[in-house]
Amino acid sequence: MSQQSRQYTLSIQAMLLINLLTMNFLSGCIVQEPMEPLNISIESSHDQEDEGSEPETSETETSKPETSETETSETETNETETSETETNETETSTSTFSTNTGAVEWDMFLATYYDESYSTTEYIATERVERPSMNYVWDDLLNINSEDFYAVWTGELQADGATTIDITVDYSWSDVSIYIDDNLVLQDRERVSVDLADGSHSVRVELHNNWHTVGFNVDFSVSQSRQELEPMMIQSEDFKAVMVYEAGSANRHDNVIEVEIGPGETPVFILLSSYAGINWQIINPTQREIEGIVVCSFSESTNIIGLGETPVYYHGNEYYGESEELQYMTEQYFQRQPSSIIDHYELDYAYIE
């Protein structure tokens, strides 16, 4: 090959190499151009999820009452076969919490229970209850395995004037949703404050349990109506304490512990301590004077039922699991220790002499 031919061949190879490099460079630029709109679409999708997904979820979930109520109405006549708690449906009760700025009260809630085994939802039973609450282990309630338990409570809150309420929830491994007037106000959290206008407001509480035990309790109370515990001097000679981890579930499933006050000439001062949310029900058949009650609980859903004008003091988010811890606390706040302590892991009844 001549010298001229070699130069010509090298020139062609050089041009081809330059063209190849240029195409690769341009190709790289073209590939990178779509990345910017992709980022924008992700941000836009996230914004839409924040703004739009909740209403869609609410519509889907709030449509369930129609099905539930239809199923309920069709099966109410068969409750003697499907429900073990039919006697509760004839009971009536109203719970009221009030302050100088407003009050909230409610009648019985309609509780509907389902079994979600094998990705299906099967209606099991309906009953009327004081409040949204459930406590049982394994399949002790209507043979529903705890991890497959699904419940819906529906009722109404009646606000006497514009009122701000605190909704407090005690729950463990479960999914919780609470709606007021079909608006989702609480989801998988323990507390929320809600402003209510004067009048009636529908309430719907949903629980999907995911554990081998069911521990669930809801309380509605007027904001800032609970009196916080401060150091004080107890006048009563009878200072009694009841300590539990949780309510018993062998005889009932509503987290209620009945505390019966025995007869006596002297007033009694009572301290009630728990880890789980408890509905303490005071029974005082002889109308013995109660100087005051202190509620210590890790759960803010713990409350008192069946009291009139008795002062109640709350020592929130505190749980005393040992008698020594409780005695140290009472020394700090009351400069004395209880004259007697009832201490159990779980209870459904306690008698105070």
14 lies in the same domain as 148 = no
Residues 185 and 259 in one domain: no
Whether residue 246 sits in one domain with residue 208: no
* Same-domain check for residues 51 and 159: no
**102 and 18 in a common domain:** no
Do both 16 and 91 map to the same domain?
no
- DSSP-assigned letter for residue 281: E
SS3 (DSSP) at 320 = coil
Kindly state whether residues 138 and 120 are assigned to the same domain: yes
Q: Residue 27's pLDDT is what?
A: 39
Q: What is the DSSP letter of 300?
A: T
Rounded-to-integer distance, Cα 231 and Cα 332, Å: 7
**Count of beta carbons in the 10 Å neighbourhood of residue 96:** 11
Amino acid at 10: L
CB 165 within 8 A of CB 152: no
CA-wise closest residue to 298 among 134, 171, 164: 171
Write down the pTM of the prediction. Answer: 0.72
In the listed set 222, 252, 271, which residue is the last one of a domain according to the structure?
222
How confident is the model over 182-205, as a mean pLDDT?
A: 96
Tokens of 84: 């073990």
| Residue 161 in tokens | 């004037």
Q: Which of 202, 222, 242 is the last residue of a domain?
A: 222
Burial letters 42-81, b for 16+ CB under 10 A, else e: eeeeeeeeeeeeeeeeeeebbeebeebeebbeebeeebee
Pairing verdict, β 346-347 and 133-137: unpaired
Structure tokens at 260: 């019966």
Same domain assignment for residues 158 and 214: yes
pLDDT digits (tens, 9 = 90+) for 290-342: 999 999 999 999 999 988 789 999 987 778 878 888 888 999 999 999 999 99
Among 59, 75, 97, the domain boundary falls at 59
The pLDDT tens digits of the residues spanning 254-287 come to 999 999 999 999 999 999 999 999 999 999 999 9
Sorted by sequence, the CB contacts under 8 Å of residue 15 that are 6+ apart come out as none
Question: Can you give the pLDDT at residue 18?
Answer: 52
Same domain (yes/no): 117, 154: yes
Residue 72 has pLDDT above 90, yes or no: no
Residues 67 and 207 grouped into a single domain: yes
Q: Which residue has the higher pLDDT, 221 or 82?
A: 221
Region 35-61: what's the mean pLDDT?
A: 31
Q: Please state the domain count of the chain.
A: 3
Q: Does one domain contain both 255 and 345?
A: yes
CA distances from 352 to 117, 129, 135, 185 (A): 43, 26, 24, 39
Show Cβ contacts of residue 11 under 8 Å, excluding neighbours closer than 6 positions: none
* Residues 190 and 332 both lie in one domain: no
Position 153 scores a pLDDT of 98
269: containing domain: 228-352
Q: 290: closest CA among 306, 311, 275, 320?
A: 311
| pLDDT in the model for residue 102 | 53
